[in-house]
Structure 1
């Protein structure tokens, strides 16, 4: 049986100082409902943290599997802190909010949020939402790895082509100046590289540099 997801919730200070502040009371109740829903759904809620300058260090210590941002009017600020805190070690991010601003939603998705949920705190919705968010994150990570591998392959191919051109120029130089065949010129480059414990392309480049210097 797999271990339950270890979740950190990012939220603002939920201490309601004014009992007449209905907005603050509603926000506190939303956050409480979210936590209850997570626990009832079998998730491991390991911490509730503010979105502050210490967030990166705290997440590094806790190593959660997923981050949930519970934000409303301060959604953009909270999201900015979370994105910066997970820049070097990406994790799935789910955002629960009452902010209906479509621009905020677009910014969240562009920043890497796996799921942006408006007014979706019903307990029965939490598990499928987080399951989909995790699947989307894993797919995104797989695509990123594939893209990185493709870039590496292209870089290696580009480097190999450049090296080939340098070696070919050095061979041509030897063939012209020492009246060697192509095979003999390459053999000479290879032997020099072995004797000096260098790569053939390094020997070829040094030879071309000297030739350019002497004219």
Structure 2
């Protein structure tokens, strides 16, 4: 089984900030996270700061999962993550010390699959990531099903409108109009919705 390719996103520590106690703690957490991931058999392909270049870097790397390590700036980091995954969704796991309800709500709205507050232990990493991946796949399946339903409803509306045009212009019954559509689609080797859309396009072109 192929290793999960992971990008870790963490707080950017600027030169001169090394003596900041909170940033030192952040660095320690980041190291613990990376060690836990490696010990669990995951492939860390990059460790990136949450900056304006993050979307481009993620697009280039094409990771299977994004792990965010954010001490208390989770919202700022999430803004960059949302932009980076807007066009192509990926499972996101957030490890943070920020347990505020509004922060959790914002993270879930941003597409985070798992929000883990405190308690970063190596033995917890694999189960957390497995649950996050399963949840992401389930949500992706539901989105696909919803998109498919919407697409079918849109096609049905197009077919119904085309039938109505045929009935009006050719004096056909509903069944006759449907059979005319089917025959035209078969002759043109097109899907029913495609031939229906062509009929509508011609009607709109002629100003009907």
TM-score w.r.t. the length of structure 1 is: 0.80
Q: Deviations over 1:132-155 (max 9, x none)?
A: 000000001000110011011000
State the shift of 1:72 in Å: 1.9
Distance 1:116 1:110 in 2: 12
Q: Whose Rg is larger?
A: 1
- Paired residue for 1:179? none
- Paired residue for 2:69? 70
2:153 match: secondary structure: helix
- Paired residue for 1:120? 119
2:80 match: secondary structure: helix
Q: CA RMSD in A?
A: 2.9
TM-score w.r.t. the length of structure 2 is: 0.82
State the shift of 1:111 in Å: 1.3
Query: In 2, are the aligned partners of 1:72 and 1:98 still within 8 Å (CA)?
Result: yes
Query: In 1, are the aligned partners of 2:12 and 2:50 still within 8 Å (CA)?
Result: no
Query: In 2, are the aligned partners of 1:166 and 1:204 still within 8 Å (CA)?
Result: no
Aligned residues: 192
Matched, 1:109 2:111: no
Distance 2:200 2:97 in 1: 65
- Paired residue for 1:49? 48
Matched, 1:61 2:60: yes
State the shift of 1:158 in Å: 0.7
Distance 1:206 1:159 in 2: 13
Range moving further from structure 2, 20-29 or 151-160: 20-29
- Paired residue for 1:11? 10
Distance 1:205 1:116 in 2: 52
Query: In 1, are the aligned partners of 2:98 and 2:117 still within 8 Å (CA)?
Result: yes
Query: In 2, are the aligned partners of 1:96 and 1:119 still within 8 Å (CA)?
Result: yes
Distance 2:84 2:201 in 1: 47
Structure 1 unpaired stretches of 5+: 175-181
